[in-house]
Amino acid sequence: MDPAGLGRAVERDAGRVHDLIGAGLAAHDERAARALRVLGELDHAPADAADRLRSVLPAANGHFRVQVGLALHFFTGDEACIAEVAAVLTGTGNASARAAAATALGSAHATPQALGALHRGVTDDDHLVRRCSADALLRHAGEEPGGHDDLRTLLAGDSHDHRAAASWLLDLLARDSSRSYGTPSRFAVDLGPADHHGGYRRPARITLAGVVLGHARTSAYVPELRNLGINTTYPDREPDFAALRETLVSHGYTGMPEEGVLDIAETRAVLDACETTLDADLGVFRWRRHDLLFGDRAVFAVELGPVDPDGSLRICTAWVDGHNVSPVDNEVYVPQFAHSLRSTLRTLDRGADFLDWGPTTDHVTAELLPTGIGYELHSAVPGVGERTGTVEVSRDDIAHVLDATATALENHPRRP
């Protein structure tokens, strides 16, 4: 596409160019979505550009969905639009579109869902998709895609080699993830490297009033550390010394100083920065590929992440017809989720509502049909309609997936 030529054309007759782009969008032509973004970059886009893109997104697939997601992100800045591109990579469409999605994600904002999708892409069945996904992750890790002969060898190998490549790239992403916030003489948090493999543990050091605090654990429990600010300020408290000290004691920290003075604004900024960083790094763990899969993602499946050693949380992603139907929240409270699966199993013969399992499936409405599952996926992008479809699958296959998943969850060692 020639941006300069497009700019000249819109200066001559903007209405005609806008009409042609509208016709192209209606025909699901990826070039129209790309042209609309170029016009936005030239400040010549129609005023309703974002609305035009929202209107076609529910039915967009493959290359067209990639370009619509990128263009809509340009006009709105909404990170949920990047998830639309990631959905093409993690889906079961043609390999060319998956490779295009991986390449696009390499230059897009590095959201947790984008990085997680690229990790999945490194284990894709298609070599080009693996190569494009690996190159994108290298870019996000600050590396040039050229070279890395050992990585190229793994990408050309078998599925075991592909997983090894994906694991190496996760470690590369975490290489520069250590962070330090605050002032040790008042309050400071030093975060060690993120663990995108296990997710729930992370080296961390907390300093209060110049004193480095102790803890029975050698590394921090990430969900607890992430909620340090929430627990300190709930319900309407300021994060002063007394409130923070009380929360740290309740979280098991020892060697606490008896008194100190904190700058409230600085303390709040430290707590907020820790929450943001931990959410982003834990997000990569949440959205990456996990190896425990029951069923077929192209039909109906549930995917489980590693056991949380300190609590009752677990990554759980449901798939229907190649779509991730847990696109916003795929972290479950194990007792509740296992109970929901067992309840669905008991009522499976009645049909009707399906996938009503709490926040994890809030973005899908589904029902059991005589020969499969009918579904409506609710986009996380505001103003976008539902993506609808059906997939054939037997009740026996559905029951097997539900029972196997529930059993795996019930065997999860919970913290007393």
The per-residue pLDDT for 411 is 86
The per-residue pLDDT for 277 is 95
The per-residue pLDDT for 415 is 45
The per-residue pLDDT for 143 is 93
CB of 314 closer than 8 Å to CB of 412: yes
Task: Tell me, letter by letter, the H, E, C secondary structure of 16-83.
Answer: HHHHHHHHHHHCCCHHHHHHHHHHHHCCCCCCCHHHHHHHHHHHCCHHHHHHHHHHHHHHHCCCHHHH
Polymer length in residues for the chain: 416
Q: Do you find a cis peptide bond into 235, omega within 30 degrees of 0?
A: yes
The per-residue pLDDT for 309 is 77
pTM above 0.85, yes or no: yes
What domains sit in the chain, N to C, each tagged with a CATH number? 3-174 (1.25.10), 181-283 (no CATH), 292-410 (no CATH)
Residue 296, strand partner residues: 300
Structure tokens at 397: 């296959």
Given strand 179-183, what is the order of strands in its sheet? 179-183, 187-191, 204-208, 211-212
3-state secondary structure of 313: strand
Cα angle, residue 327 at apex, residues 324 and 328 outer, rounded to 5°: 165
Residue 364, strand partner residues: 377
Query: 10-residue block means of pLDDT along the chain (416 residues)?
Result: 84 92 96 96 94 97 98 96 96 95 95 96 97 97 91 96 96 94 97 92 95 90 93 94 96 94 96 95 92 94 88 91 93 93 88 84 93 94 94 96 95 56
The per-residue pLDDT for 181 is 97
